Amino acid sequence: MTTRHQIKPGQPLTIGVLALQGAYDVHAEVLTALGVTPRLVRLPAQLDGLDGLIIPGGESTTMLKFLERGDFFDILNEFVHHKPTFGTCAGCILLAKDVSRPEQKSFAALDITVERNAYGRQNDSAILHEPTTLPGGPLEMVFIRAPRIDRVGPEVEVLASRDGHPALIRQGNLLAATFHPELGHDARVHQFFVDMVRKAKETAPREPEGAAAV
């Protein structure tokens, strides 16, 4: 894995991984290798104090069923609209503004339209190496029953594509991939997100020293 960029001393980060389904444990392993403290998130209270969050791949409809218990969906919705969040595959679908084939509930945080399972079934999975704006040459992409991004809004930055369709995108504090970077051998996407989280933490407004509740 690429671990050239390390967390700055004095800037510890805790990044959550939504642990309802999918390869959340592998995401946590990559974060650990990059010097970040991971936290598996299964309950709304576990979002407290996180610097960022990864929503992994899996089955988006199944994740929604878990999130509809209690206030989890609403609390997570508030989080992704205010904190750095990275969605991979199913996570990308949940972040999208518009979901097609079929339409589906989402957080509507990313100004994109996503078509579910657009690249076929499980046996249509593929490992590709495509150009990217990230430094370091072509990017390894592991596609498994992947969605396809059919539209991006004007504020969305395309970092890598597959067959002319965006595969890795960024909008503000949000990052999304239609592939599974945690299943490959290239940690650049995770490192890119870690750098996003660190920058967001460093630039976040801080309470004045000595401030106290009245």
- The CATH number that applies at residue 168 is 3.40.50.880
Is position 107 within any domain? yes
Tokens of 167: 């595969």
CB-facing half-sphere around the CA of 41: CA atoms within 13 A? 28
Euclidean distance between CA atoms 14 and 35, whole angstroms: 10
β-strand pairing of 85-88 with 96-100: unpaired
- CA atoms of 94 and 28, how far apart (whole Å): 20
Q: Is 9 among the domain residues? A: no
Residue 7 falls inside a structural domain: no
Residues 6 or more apart in contact with residue 199 via CB below 8 angstroms: none
Cα–Cα–Cα angle for 17, 19, 22, rounded to 5 degrees: 100
- Is residue 5 a part of any domain in this protein? no
What φ, ψ does residue 127 adopt, rounded to 5°? -115, 120
Neighbours of 137 (CB within 10 A): 10
Return the pLDDT at 124. 56
Residue 188 counted as domain residue:
yes
In Å, the largest CA–CA distance within the chain is 61
Residue 160 belongs to a domain = yes
The CA–CA distances, whole Å, from 211 to 199, 205, 208 equal 24, 13, 6
Instruction: State the pLDDT at residue 71.
Output: 92
> Rounded distance, CA 89 to CA 57, Å?
5
- Bridge partners (DSSP) listed for residue 115: 100, 148
pTM for this predicted structure: 0.89
The answer to whether position 97 is within a domain reads yes
The residue segments making up the domain with residue 114 are 14-203
Please give the tally of structural domains in the chain: 1
At 101 the pLDDT is 82
Active site members: 89, 180, 182
Task: Pull the structure tokens for residue 90.
Answer: 């199913």
Q: What per-residue confidence (pLDDT) applies to 123?
A: 46
Q: What is the mean pLDDT of each run of 10 residues along the chain (214 residues)?
A: 43 94 94 97 96 94 90 96 96 96 92 83 75 96 91 97 96 97 95 97 72 41
Q: Report the pLDDT value the prediction gives residue 1, as an integer from 0 to 100.
A: 44
pLDDT at 121: 56
Residue pointed to by tokens 């990230």: 134
